[in-house]
Amino acid sequence: MADPIQQLVQHLSRLPGIGEKTAARLAFHLVRSPESQVRDLAQALVEVVEKIRLCSVCMNITEQVPCQRCSDPQRIDPTICVVSSPSDVVAIDRGGHFQGRYHVLHGVLSPLDGVGPEDLRIDELMQRLSASADTDEQVTEVIIATSANVEGEATAMYLARLIKPMNIRVSRIASGIPVGGELEYSDQATIARALQGRLPL
Ligand code: ZN
């Protein structure tokens, strides 16, 4: 049986941005913390595992399937905004300028980190688009709102190549999001400008 602290360090160091050293510091912090606090943390983790699902339509994290946004009849705009993470959905929604629907990729293409198309929710997006064809809710435009860095741009180009042959307009959020900038840290006015000034791909 492995040492419990060692095991905890191992689990923590698998989290993004947490190296072995930080993991060890967090583990020892937890050991010194009041037991109730640590139990609450463990309970929160269990609840996330038990209650949070991916929406079968947009792939966003949700407690109900389909998610609130996908089942919202107010969202009739035949536009899908493709983002890399659930936090981007929150950032764009906060502005209230986008009335369409979303699709969450859960990452961006990054060959150096071993992230290929099959690791993202791209198949689900393509199935969604082809299923929408010839229906009342036909998607006419896909706005790709990945970050303006190398991986974000590569992902946008890849998707544009797949989607354009389906006769669906593909555009890219434009000015406003700083180059290398993260969407989730952008203010509402910036996101609104970026959506309005989108460019065809
Ligand atoms: Zn959804």
Backbone angles phi, psi at 107, to 5 degrees: 130, 180
- If you measure from the C-alpha of residue 5 to the centroid of ligand 1, how many angstroms do you get, rounded to a whole number? 38
- E strand spans, 105-173: 141-144, 169-172
Gap from CA of 141 to ligand 1 centroid (Å): 17
Torsion of CA 176, 181, 182, 186, to 10 degrees: -40
Q: Supply the pLDDT for residue 77.
A: 76
Distance, in Å, from the CA atom of 140 to the CA atom of 74, rounded to the nearest integer, reads 17
Q: In the chain, where are the structural domains located?
A: 4-51, 61-172
pLDDT of residue 35: 96
61-172 classified as CATH 3.40.1360.10: yes
- Residue 157 C-alpha to ligand 1 middle, in angstroms? 24
Supply the pLDDT for residue 137: 79
The CA 69 to ligand 1 mean position distance, Å, reads 6
Distance 56 CA to ligand 1 centre (A): 7
CA of 138 relative to ligand 1 center, distance in Å = 16
Distance, CA 1 to ligand 1 centroid (Å)?
Answer: 42
Ligand 1 centre to CA of 131 (Å) is 15
Return the pLDDT at 135.
82
Tell me the CA–centroid distance for residue 152 and ligand 1, in Å: 22
Instruction: Please tell me the predicted confidence (pLDDT) of residue 180.
Output: 59
pLDDT, position 173? 83
> Ligand 1 centroid vs 101 CA: distance in angstroms?
8
Q: Alpha-carbon distance 89 to 180, whole Å? A: 19
Ligand 1 centroid to Cα of residue 114, in Å, is 27
CA of 102 to the centre of ligand 1 (A): 7
CATH fold of 4-51 reads Helicase, Ruva Protein; domain 3 (1.10.8)
List the beta bridge partners of residue 200. Answer: 171
> What is the reported pLDDT for 181?
60
Q: How large is the C-alpha radius of gyration of the chain?
A: 20
Q: Phi/psi of residue 141, each to 5°?
A: -145, 140
CA of 55 to the centre of ligand 1 (A): 5
Q: Do the first three CATH levels of 4-51 and 61-172 match, i.e. the same topology? A: no
Q: How far is the CA of 35 from the centre of ligand 1 (A)?
A: 37
pLDDT tens for the chain, 201 residues long, are 579 999 999 999 999 889 999 999 999 999 999 999 999 999 999 999 999 999 999 999 999 999 999 999 888 779 999 999 999 999 998 878 888 999 999 999 998 888 999 999 999 999 999 999 878 778 999 999 998 888 998 999 999 999 999 999 999 887 555 555 666 766 776 777 677 767 777
